[in-house]
Every structure is written in C-alpha cells, then in structure tokens.
Homo-oligomer: A and B are copies of this chain.
Amino acid sequence: MLVDIKCSECPVFKSSYFSGLDPCDLTDLYHKKTCYVYKKGQDIYYEGKKPLGIYCIQSGKVKISKLGIEGKEQILRFCMPGDLMGLRSLIAGNTYPDTATTFEDSVICFINKRKFFQTTIRYPELSTRIMLTLSTLLEEAEKKITSMAQKPVRERLAEALVTLDEVFRSDGCSSVISLSREELANIVGTAVETVIRLLSEFKEERLIGVKGRKLLILDKKGLQRIAKTY
C-alpha cells in the first residue's frame, strides 16, 4: 500500500490543518514528514514520553486514553483521519499525559517539532485553528465532567453509545460499534458487569442490536432521551 503520499494528495487534505499552506510550503512539509503504518492496537505515543513532534492521521482511528488508579485505563476520546495528535504536550512542552493507541490499522504521519513550529509561525490561521481545536476539546471535556458528576451509569452509557455512533459512522449508514465491554466500561467509568447488564436492557428495549462484540444503534433518539442530551 502506498502511504507516503504528497500532503496535497492526502485524502484528508481539504479538511486538514494544512489546507491553507501555499504549494511551496506544502512540498516542503511533504519532504519533512514521515509516514508510518500501524497495526491495530499499537501505541503511537504513551504517557510519560517526551513529544518530539506531532502526528497527523492519514487513515484509521485512534483511541486516546489515560492511566488512572492502579493502572486502570480511562478512555478519553477518539481521533479520526485529519486530526492532529499530541498538540497539547508539544505546546506545553510536557511529557504526554495520555496514550494514543490505534483502534484499527492506520497510517499516521509524523512532523517534527521544529518543522511544525516553523510552519505555525508562518501561518497565523494555523495557530487560530489550533486554538479552536483546543477550545472545542476543552468544552467537550467539561461537558463530560458534568455528565460524570451528575448522571447515573445508565445515562452515561447511553450518552457514550450516541457519541460512538457519531465517531464510528461511515457515510450515512448506521454505524457498527466494535468495542469490548471492558473498553465501554472504561469510557463510562463503571464495572464491566454493569455495562453488560445495561446493554442487555438496551437490547431488550430495542434501542441497540447486539451481534457478538458488535453493537448496532437502532434507536438513536431513544438513547438520547435516556442520556438526556438535548
């Protein structure tokens, strides 16, 4: 598979952070970046590691998680093609506070720190976009804090399924969510058994379909009603 393509020919280029660069800078970026192919389940970076640059997802999906009490995984969010990963730590100059793991086979480009900052300085609209991204992530995080603080597990699980549906949907068709029960528990903040019991309830209520590990959202409106996300 050809992965080391020109940025201008990248499937995510139009909607990417770099769409505003002029051809010359774009060619330069292409020469400086490095493309890597990752198998499902591989770490791109991990908690405590020093950032050397940023990662841009060409294809695939990535899980961002954090270690909590006694090494228990807390899943924070998912990154999709076109997303930059590791922005935060690169900017703050800290080690990564979380771990990025591919969720399926993925192609991810690496741009080193110096090159990235050079480009950022030249393109103020890139800075603006980064601020926008950080702002959006922060708003989502604070919404999640509120859910965690105030909603019971059933509501949080419904909320998570609705969010996942949006993340995993390809085209218009209803998406298939393929996460282990444990991963669902690590998103919602509950025990695996509780997730299993609640999924059975949702299935009983014809809100979801269950086919082995794969979940199918059947009644998104119904789940949203349970989740109380208006």
5 A-B residue pairings within 8 Å (CB atoms): A66-B143, A76-B145, A138-B138, A144-B145, A149-B188
| Cα-based distance from A146 to B97 in the complex (angstroms) | 12
Is A72 positioned at the interface, with any CB of B under 8 Å from its CB? Answer: yes
Question: Cβ of A5 < 8 Å from any Cβ of B?
Answer: no
**A89 closest partner in B (C-beta):** B135
A133-164 contacts to B, CB under 8 A, are 134-139, 141-151
For the complex, give the distance between the alpha carbons of A127 and B128 in Å.
Answer: 8
Q: Judging by beta carbons under 8 Å apart, are A150 and B72 in contact?
A: yes
B residues near A186, Cβ cutoff 8 Å: 149
A228 close to B137 (CB less than 8 A): no
CA distance A142 to B128 in the complex (A): 22
How far, in angstroms, from A132 to B127 measured CA to CA in the complex? Answer: 12
Residue A189 at the B interface, CB < 8 A?
yes
Interface string of A191-218 (1 = CB under 8 A from B): 0000000000000000000000000000
Does A179 touch B at the CB level, under 8 Å? no
Q: Which of B97, B128, B137, B139 contacts A143 (CB 8 A)?
A: B97
User: Which residue of B has the minimal Cβ distance to A151?
Assistant: B69
Query: When chains A and B are docked, how far (Å) is the Cα of A76 from the Cα of B143?
Result: 10
Interface residue? A176 (CB, 8 A): no
Contact between A189 and B149, CB atoms less than 8 A apart? yes
The answer to whether A142 and B92 have CB atoms under 8 Å apart is no
A91 in the interface (beta carbon within 8 A): yes
Structural contact, A88 and B139, CB atoms closer than 8 A: yes
Q: How far is the CA of A124 from the CA of B131 in the complex (A)?
A: 13
Taking the complex as formed, is A83 at the interface, i.e. its CB lies under 8 A from any CB of chain B?
Answer: no
A146 to chain B, nearest CB (A): 4
Taking a contact as CB atoms under 8 Å apart, the answer to whether A134 and B124 are in contact is no
User: Is A44 close to B, CB under 8 A?
Assistant: no
Q: A-B pairs with the 6 shortest C-beta distances?
A: A149-B189, A141-B141, A148-B148, A134-B134, A68-B150, A74-B146
